[in-house]
Chains A and B, each alone.
Chain A
Amino acid sequence: MDINSELQKKVYKLFEEGTIKRFIGYEKGSLPYKTRPCIITKKEDVNRLIFDQFCVNNLSIYLRGDLEKTGILANMCTLKSIVALLQGNQVKPENLYILAVNCPGMVDPDKAELSSLPAQTKLMPFGYKNLYDKCKACHHELPKIYQDLIGEEISVACEPVDEYAFIKDMEKLTQDERWKFWEKQFSKCIRCYACRNVCPICYCKECMVDKANPQWVSKLNQSSTNEYYNLMRVIHVMGRCTDCGECERVCPVKIPYRKLIKKMEKEIKELYGYVPGKDPKELPPLSTFKEEDPEKGIK
């Protein structure tokens, strides 16, 4: 069965049975090969719902606040973010109906030559090389928190990519070269805070960035303030980031945030054996400790 009709049929049934009051999914965008998130509240509207390889938005940011019974179409990244939200007690699992989808990986419009693509978008016509970097390194094991699953099982017909390859390259550089690289990257920042606004785990009601007293982040346009803001954001999400890559995708000046946050993910994996986005019952690494934790560098 076509994945769109399977999805629409399932959601229609959920509305009919009264399991959900609203459903968060994707609909067709106004441009070809674009989709946008949509929230459906009536069963008559289910034919708006679609799923293809351009459904890249992380839908879990629409789960903030008090929810009535909500259904959500969860691809791999959304699902992992929901795990992080459950860990932080940000959503009530009883208000959630998760319809997971076997995620084939999303197409990066910057990589794909869109004019040569077929007009009728089906799953997996785009080939491996057009996928986002995060999707190339994806292990395709959905965390078992969903109520239902749609889509055919994905067989990954490619060589697995080392997800930390670019970090190893960075680590080979000297200290000053690394600083030069990051200084250049951060100097581009226009502090639109899109990375913060789109981040599913940046759910604080009041962000340190917005605080005026004490003013943690100066409003001045200075390179040091950019560096400080970006590093502060890394500190705030480290250990909880599930690598959905939304910050990097929405950044208007293309700062490679994943290169920064993946490094922390790698360190946490090596030091504490924690992998984010797996088990909602597990505590994030900075909310817990072990007595025998390594303390290299602390004398």
Chain B
Amino acid sequence: MDNNNQQTWEPKIYAFLCNWCSYEGADLAGGGRRIYPANVRIIRVPCSGRIDPVFILKSFERGADGVLVSGCHPGDCHYTEGNYFARRKFVLVKKLLEYVGIEPERFQARWISASEAIKFVETVKEMTENIRKLGPNTKLVKNIKEEITCQ
């Protein structure tokens, strides 16, 4: 489907969620029949510490309009300290993306615990609305059509 058409364009958000808290939170949102936008694509990772900052760049390159990373609240990590390491990475990557001129709204980091289904729903709603206002991401995106003609 052509997602580049202005009328049919929908924001595409990649969400990297930690297995123990945020993914469970999203699961609870589904289990509780809470409605949230279908723009989010969830990728489950073992821990927020697993989220290499390169994943975030790669997501943008592969056509994400926004990236959400989420893990357990500091102090609650299943592996004791994974999210503390992740926190430093997220803060620095956010600064880097801002510095090269990518809209800061496109990259969001949240702490969402397994019981915070409502926070997950609110985050996804808020992000979808913000990115809808910004429009499709044109920075860092690989031009797939060009790739096909190259091959």
For B74-107 the 0/1 string (1 means CB < 8 A from A) is 1100000100110111111111101111111000
CB contacts (< 8 Å) of B143 on chain A: these are: 222, 224
Given A228-B140, A231-B100, A293-B87: A264 touches B57 (CB 8 Å cut-off): no
Q: Are B61 and A224 in contact (CB under 8 A)?
A: yes
B142 interfacial by beta-carbon distance below 8 Å? yes
Q: Is the interface of B mostly helix, strand, loop or mixed?
A: helix
- Asked if B121 is at the interface (CB within 8 A of a chain A CB), the reply is no
How distant is the Cα of A176 from the Cα of B81 in the complex, in angstroms?
37
Q: How many B residues are at the interface, by size bracket?
A: 35 or more
Q: Is the Cβ of A268 less than 8 Å from the Cβ of B92?
A: yes
Q: Is B139 an interface residue (CB 8 A)?
A: yes
Contacts of B2 in A (CB 8 A): none
- The A interface is mostly helix, strand or loop, or mixed, namely helix
Tell which of A179, A222, A228 touches B57, judged by Cβ atoms closer than 8 Å: A228
Q: Which residue of A lies closest to B53 (CB)?
A: A235
Pair A175/B103 contact, Cβ less than 8 Å: yes
A243 CA to B93 CA, complexed, in Å = 19
Interface size class of A (residues with CB under 8 A): 35 or more
Rounded to whole angstroms, the CA-CA distance of A239 and B147 in the bound complex is 34
Question: Quick one: which of B6-58 are within 8 Å of A by CB?
Answer: 53-54, 57-58
Digitize A226-246: 1 where CB-to-B-CB distance is under 8 Å, 0 elsewhere. Answer: 011001101110110000000
- What residues make up the interface of A, taking CB atoms closer than 8 Å to B? 170-171, 175-183, 208, 216, 218, 220, 222, 224-225, 227-228, 231-232, 234-236, 238-239, 260, 263-264, 267-268, 271-272, 285-286, 289-291, 293-299
Which B residues lie at the A interface, using CB under 8 A? Answer: 53-54, 57-58, 61, 74-75, 81, 84-85, 87-96, 98-104, 109-111, 139-143, 146-147, 150
